[in-house]
Structure 1
Amino acid sequence: MSTTWAASAAHLPGGLARDVRLTVEGGRFVAVETGRPAEPGDHRLPGVVLPGLANAHSHAFHRALRGRTHGGGGTFWTWREGMYAVSARLDPSSYLALARAAYAEMALAGVTAVGEFHYLHHGPGGARYMDPNAMGAALVQAAADAGIRLTLLDTCYLTGGLGADGYRELEGPQLRFGDGDATAWALRVEDLRDHLDGGAAHVRVGGAIHSVRAVPRDQLATVADTVRARGAGAGQAPLHIHLSEQPAENEACLAAHGRTPTGLLADEGVLGPDLSAVHATHLTDEDVALLGGARSWACFCPTTERDLADGIGPAVALREAGARISLGSDQHAVVDLIEEARALEMHERLATLQRGRIAPADLLAAATAHESIGWADAGRLEVGARADLVAVRDDTVRTAGADPDQILLAATAADVDTVVVDGQVVVEAGRHRLGDVGRLLHDAITPLWKDS
């Protein structure tokens, strides 16, 4: 049975089109017609219709930190201590509740697929749950409940830091993140994949290297090879890494290895078109050339990068070198992919004193870069693509009068009216199918701080 959605304006691969009818069958677009006003029986969409948005970098449990990390200023490194404290309090049940609410908040913002950079693997002190992937299973269930697709970027995290004298042992809350070595990590991930194969159509399993601080040089290739062996060129098992988020990371890598983090990845064969370098903030010209030459992705998370005072990454330089751009909400200080896209351009303006650095169409491409998280058949309103769409109202106090072609420069997540994922309505009239998402977030987060 088919369903037809009608929009007065929609962003198609060729640009903005008027009077668009999108027919869906079996979770795919089977017809996209332009210049065709709505007909009786069509489902009318308000405002401007976009492809589904892709949140390429998420840490679901960081959502519990919003509004709790600003006292006394601090640094990225003091913020990290607060993050460790939250991680120490979660178990599979509370993680499910928190992630379900966080993913529902993303759906309200127009996100149809999320790349979850998952390293909270084990119990307190590193104790193994009976199911060694219980925390990952909670994320899988959470995404299903919230109605969005999930790319579980199972993350290898083996050491507690890097200094001139080498790698430090995991300690305290970090013990929950580690598997001992990359081989043990790979075995656990294979067990997860075996359990999911054929039983969770909304899930892809990829992998991640937490950072060059957290995975020793001699094990970087093991992680990359493990992910790529499973992906087998299908593009469904992406590889991600936090890269050069802080100057201290670069300094430590140079002291220990005589190479920048990007140079180290190049030496170890990790760079490639399946790799997403998350943040990519403090890069040398050589780093930019290496990432561009490999056609890697650079995943920017502007609202997090400014919240943590990380800096402004060289987005335009990377694009000009050949890298591709995606976006994420990372620690969820803000969950609004429209704002992430707008901030990409606005940060460039601040850094260069020039406007129009990234065209609105390119901002939309970054916000819908599903390929970067293993869903190459999504992110476009075209025949054969997954039937994801987002209707953004054009009659709110923020969007009234805006040119539909520039809607990303005016709207926010609050203007999202309708979200469809694989042909299923997840958000309608600004309300998620789970009901009061604010209450879900409150009920999931409040117990984590009851002793604070």
Structure 2
Amino acid sequence: MTILFRPELVYTGDRFEGGKQIVVADDGIIQGIEDWSIADSGEVAGATIENLPGRAMLPGMIDVHSHSFQRTIRGSVESRLKAGPNFWSWRDAMYRAANRFSPEELYTIACMAFMEMALAGITTVGEFHYVHRDRDGSPYENPNEIALQVIRAANDVGIRIALLRVAYVRAGFNKPADAGQRRFIEPTSEEFLTNTDALRSALRESGESAWIGVAPHSIRAVPIDYLREITAWARSERLPVHMHVAEQPAENDACMEEYGTTPFALLDREGILEEKFTAIHGIHLSAGEIAALGRSGAIIGACPTTERNLGDGILPADALMRAGVRIAFGSDSLTQIDPLENARELEYNLRLKQLERAVLDNVDGTALPQRLFACSTVNGAASLGANAGTLAPGMPADFFSVDFHDPSIAGSGPEELLASIVFGLAKTAIAEVAVNGRFLVQGGRHQRQEAVIRDYAALMRRQAGVYD
């Protein structure tokens, strides 16, 4: 049955418009965005009407970089005693979490992470998935056992997922094997490609709810011959490719030691930088590398809430945007799941560094709120190869709505509403979230919220040795 969604305002790409209804077909695809008036508010033959008074509707947001299992270490690593002074010592605490949980427990954790994303207005996630093996490092009978559990979690919560299957080979150049990485390793490109193609086959009936991408973890974790082979395969299959690049200065130093050049220069030389490539983080860049990124069409997957938590550094977003580089957002370690907080941080970090305001305003000819919201939507969709990110005929009806009466945006008119949302929205204002025109969240609560929280809390109590 056709559904007519009637919010007070609809975000149509660069502004809010009133008096519009979204016409959604049985298959969840938007048929049209039409004018309507209160005089037409009676029953419509063959249609269900969803009146959303006091609401503004926006396209669902995209999270391009998630490690769902890292939700379990939130709050437990915020001291030097527990996680040391830097990224590399924090990583050891993260490895302990990666080696702790069974596939079924990782499903429970992913449900919690993805539900929290839905509550934040996220309707599509890119899961950078590298926990492949059993806790002793041996393969499961189905090498994609955990990947399928994570995908099942996304399906049960109701959001779309790009499972970005990670290639992980080694601890680094001239480094001994690290026992903390034993669940990640697939030692040959043949094994990785066989398992990745098997996962793609298993998802063939999923349509636009779940699909795969290829994710060489990093230059330090994947040697160049392996990297060439798997990225060539991904390119031939038109799959998105994501990779951690230049998150820490030590990565650049190690790449220089092994290859005599920096990670971005190496990827550019190898022809790996292109429109379907997303460089996650991409913080420590030279001017020449920024120019190369602009020429290539590659995307930067920025994760400011994690990058500030780990002390990674500040993304040179102004220089990247001037070079024509698109930026998308990810929540990464899930320290905080809030794409709009990522948007604020992208801008505010530059304000603190440059002692100026509105640094990214009109950098590429677009007003600041519109540009930052595009990073949360259309740029994320491009990064994941998702048919999402806009409200338009022919697109899936993936959206979130905000409540005008929430204190964080109360009093904002249509002209300043997007700026109020980007720079001031509290998550309490997110009222409804839908995927394919079907509500996941209503009245600020997810339809499975009580059960998901109960199961996750019980799991974490068991892990802590606390029993009911």
| Structure 1 residue 79 displacement after superposition | 0.8
Q: Which residue of 1 aligns with 2:70?
A: 62
The reply on whether 1:205 has 2:217 as its aligned counterpart is no
* SS of 2:9 mapped into structure 1: strand
The reply on whether 1:380 has 2:390 as its aligned counterpart is yes
* SS of 2:358 mapped into structure 1: coil
Residues in 2 aligned to 1:419 and 1:351: alpha-carbon distance in whole angstroms: 36
The answer (yes or no) to whether the contact 1:220–1:270 under 8 Å persists in 2 is: no
Cα distance per residue 1:166-193 (max 9 Å; x no partner): 3x34321201101112221111101111
| Structure 1 residue 439 displacement after superposition | 3.1
Q: Which residue of 2 aligns with 1:302?
A: 304
**Aligned CA distance change for structure 1 residues 434 and 261 (closer, same or farther; 3 Å):** same
| Structure 1 residue 443 displacement after superposition | 2.7
Residues in 1 aligned to 2:423 and 2:37: alpha-carbon distance in whole angstroms: 27
The reply on whether 1:159 has 2:161 as its aligned counterpart is no
The reply on whether 1:108 has 2:119 as its aligned counterpart is yes
Q: Which residue of 2 aligns with 1:172?
A: 179
Residues in 2 aligned to 1:153 and 1:446: alpha-carbon distance in whole angstroms: 30
Residues in 1 aligned to 2:220 and 2:35: alpha-carbon distance in whole angstroms: 51
Residues in 2 aligned to 1:193 and 1:278: alpha-carbon distance in whole angstroms: 23
| Deviation beyond 6 Å, 4+ runs, structure 1 | none
Residues in 1 aligned to 2:319 and 2:348: alpha-carbon distance in whole angstroms: 15
Q: Which residue of 2 aligns with 1:252?
A: 254
**Aligned CA distance change for structure 1 residues 444 and 4 (closer, same or farther; 3 Å):** farther
| Structure 1 residue 333 displacement after superposition | 0.5
The answer (yes or no) to whether the contact 1:118–1:155 under 8 Å persists in 2 is: yes
Deviates most, 202-211 or 4-13: 4-13
Q: Between the two proteins, what is the percent identity of the paired residues?
A: 35
The reply on whether 1:442 has 2:457 as its aligned counterpart is yes
**Aligned CA distance change for structure 1 residues 112 and 246 (closer, same or farther; 3 Å):** same
What is the TM-score when the length of structure 1 is the normalising length?
0.94
The answer (yes or no) to whether the contact 1:292–1:321 under 8 Å persists in 2 is: yes
* SS of 1:112 mapped into structure 2: strand
Residues in 2 aligned to 1:288 and 1:91: alpha-carbon distance in whole angstroms: 41
What amino acid sits opposite 1:145 in the alignment? D
The answer (yes or no) to whether the contact 2:406–2:428 under 8 Å persists in 1 is: no
* SS of 1:384 mapped into structure 2: coil
| Structure 1 residue 34 displacement after superposition | 4.5
What is the TM-score when the length of structure 2 is the normalising length?
0.91
Cα distance per residue 1:357-414 (max 9 Å; x no partner): 3310011111012121111x21111111111110012222222223313121110323
What amino acid sits opposite 2:236 in the alignment? A
The reply on whether 1:15 has 2:15 as its aligned counterpart is yes
* SS of 1:126 mapped into structure 2: coil
The structure 2 residue matched to 1:370, chosen from 372, 381, 397, is: 381
| Structure 1 residue 200 displacement after superposition | 5.7
Cα distance per residue 1:334-360 (max 9 Å; x no partner): 011121122212122122222223310
Deviates most, 222-231 or 242-251: 222-231
1:44-443 to 2 correspondences below 5 Å: 44-45=51-52, 46-72=54-80, 74-162=85-173, 166=174, 168-199=175-206, 201-231=208-238, 237-358=239-360, 359-368=368-377, 369-375=380-386, 377-402=387-412, 403-406=416-419, 407-436=421-450, 437-443=452-458
The answer (yes or no) to whether the contact 1:390–1:416 under 8 Å persists in 2 is: yes
Residues in 2 aligned to 1:447 and 1:371: alpha-carbon distance in whole angstroms: 40
Q: Which residue of 2 aligns with 1:234?
A: none
| Structure 1 residue 327 displacement after superposition | 0.3
| Structure 1 residue 199 displacement after superposition | 4.3
Residues in 1 aligned to 2:456 and 2:402: alpha-carbon distance in whole angstroms: 23
The answer (yes or no) to whether the contact 1:159–1:214 under 8 Å persists in 2 is: yes
Deviates most, 15-24 or 94-103: 15-24
| Structure 1 residue 100 displacement after superposition | 1.1
| Structure 1 residue 19 displacement after superposition | 2.5
The answer (yes or no) to whether the contact 2:63–2:330 under 8 Å persists in 1 is: yes
What amino acid sits opposite 2:12 in the alignment? L
Equivalent pairs, count: 441
| Structure 1 residue 286 displacement after superposition | 1.3
Deviates most, 83-92 or 355-364: 355-364
| Structure 1 residue 218 displacement after superposition | 2.0
The answer (yes or no) to whether the contact 1:48–1:404 under 8 Å persists in 2 is: no
* SS of 1:161 mapped into structure 2: coil
Residues in 2 aligned to 1:224 and 1:104: alpha-carbon distance in whole angstroms: 32
* SS of 2:334 mapped into structure 1: coil
Report the aligned-residue RMSD: 1.6
| Structure 1 residue 209 displacement after superposition | 1.1
Residues in 1 aligned to 2:455 and 2:404: alpha-carbon distance in whole angstroms: 28
